[in-house]
Each structure stands twice: as C-alpha cells, then as structure tokens.
C-alpha cells in the first residue's frame, strides 16, 4: 500500500491555499487586471451595508471591458453575482450602468438585467413550489406509511421534477398501500 502511494505521489500537485482578507486593503490598493479588480472589489464590499453607493464606481471600471467581444458575458456574470448578493431592482441597476458605463448600454443592460432577475425569480418560485410538495409528501408519508418514511423520502428528495412531485403528493388521496406509492414513484 505504501509503495503504491509513493508511486502516485509524483502526480499529486504541490500547492498552497492562500486566502486574502480584502477588507484589509483600501479600494485604491486593490490593483491588477480590470476584471480581477472588479471581482475583488465586489467580494470585498458584498456584505457592506453601503455597497449600493460603491457599485457605480465598481461598474465604471468595466467601461472598456463591456465594449470587448466577451464584454457582455463578463457583465452578465458580474450582474448575476450582484443580483444574488444585493437587493436591487432592475431599474436601479440600469441607472447605475447608464451613469457608470454608458447610456447606450443602458437598454442592452436592462434586457440582460431583466432576464437575470426573471431567471432568479422563476427559480425561486419553482424552489418554493418544490418545498411545498415535499412538505405535503412528508406529511402524507408520516400519516399513511410512517414505517417506510425514510425509504421513500430518500428517493423523493432526489426528484427535481415538480410535476412528478405533484402527482406523488396527490397520490396520498388514493393510495392504500406502500407498493402502490412505490409503483407510482417509479413511473
């Protein structure tokens, strides 16, 4: 066993994990490529209560990037992060982008921001619906088949299709035996 481990050790990379506390640096001290600076500044200020005041300055760093071939893709990634960490409306983001990057990009950004916000909203709605079905199934299992609860729930927790979860939740009105439920779950 030790021989095989020593033979494989040449293939294991030798590296160090370095973690920087960006809050120890002023914004002016954070240097590097523009995109790296934008990301580090967002990470640094993501939990600041005054991040909304700092966003325009961070966005203004992206003026040159947005015009590049992959610029909108980078901006989309940045906006995804902002929407997931900061509670802002699409109009607020649009205003910041128009004043920080360019008024011409405002409509383009508006479309992108609305799409990202809607994706997040729809995912949140779907997650909430899923949670409701899981709770209903949980209750049904506890009431009808408490001895099989863990067996069924381990399978149910893997299901991502809300329509299938809805069918399973509705099944508790008609199924009488665990085998019936299992058959339905396998469909």
DSSP letter for 30, please.
Answer: -
pTM of the model: 0.54
pLDDT of residue 162: 81
% of the chain with per-residue pLDDT over 70: 89
pLDDT per residue as tens digits for the range 112-153: 767 776 666 666 667 777 888 888 888 888 888 888 888 888
pLDDT per residue as tens digits for the range 21-71: 888 989 999 888 888 898 889 888 888 888 889 999 998 888 888 777 787
DSSP letter for 33, please.
Answer: S
pLDDT of residue 179: 87
DSSP letter for 21, please.
Answer: -
Is the pLDDT reported for residue 1 higher than 60?
A: no
pLDDT per residue as tens digits for the range 153-177: 888 888 888 888 888 888 877 888 8
Both ends of the chain: CA-CA distance in Å? 46
pLDDT per residue as tens digits for the range 66-91: 777 787 788 778 877 887 778 777 77
pLDDT of residue 180: 86
Say how far apart CA 32 and CA 14 lie, in whole Å: 25
Is the pLDDT reported for residue 5 higher than 70?
A: yes
| Cβ 133 vs Cβ 166: under 8 Å | yes
Alpha carbon 37 to its chain's center: 22
DSSP 3-state of 55: helix
Say how far apart CA 16 and CA 127 lie, in whole Å: 38
pLDDT of residue 2: 63
The pair of three-digit structure tokens given for residue 142, joined into one six-digit string: 């506890």
Domain boundaries, the chain: 29-103, 125-186
pLDDT of residue 86: 80
């Amino acid at each position: 066993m030790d021989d095989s481990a020593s033979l494989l050790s040449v293939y294991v990379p030798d590296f160090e994990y370095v973690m920087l506390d960006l809050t120890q640096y002023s914004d002016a001290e954070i240097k590097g490529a523009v995109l790296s600076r934008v990301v580090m500044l967002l990470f640094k200020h993501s939990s600041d209560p005054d991040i909304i005041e700092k966003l325009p300055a961070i966005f203004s760093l992206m003026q040159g990037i947005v015009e590049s071939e992959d610029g909108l893709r980078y901006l989309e990634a940045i906006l995804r992060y902002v929407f997931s960490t900061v509670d802002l409306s699409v109009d607020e983001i649009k205003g910041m982008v128009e004043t920080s990057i360019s008024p011409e990009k405002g409509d383009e950004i508006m479309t992108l921001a609305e799409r990202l916000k809607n994706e997040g909203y729809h995912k949140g709605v779907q997650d909430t619906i899923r949670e409701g079905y899981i709770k209903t199934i949980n209750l049904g299992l506890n009431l009808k088949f408490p001895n099989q609860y863990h067996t069924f729930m381990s399978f149910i927790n893997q299901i991502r299709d809300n329509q299938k979860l809805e069918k399973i939740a509705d099944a508790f009105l008609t199924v009488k035996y665990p085998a019936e439920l299992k058959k339905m779950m396998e469909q």
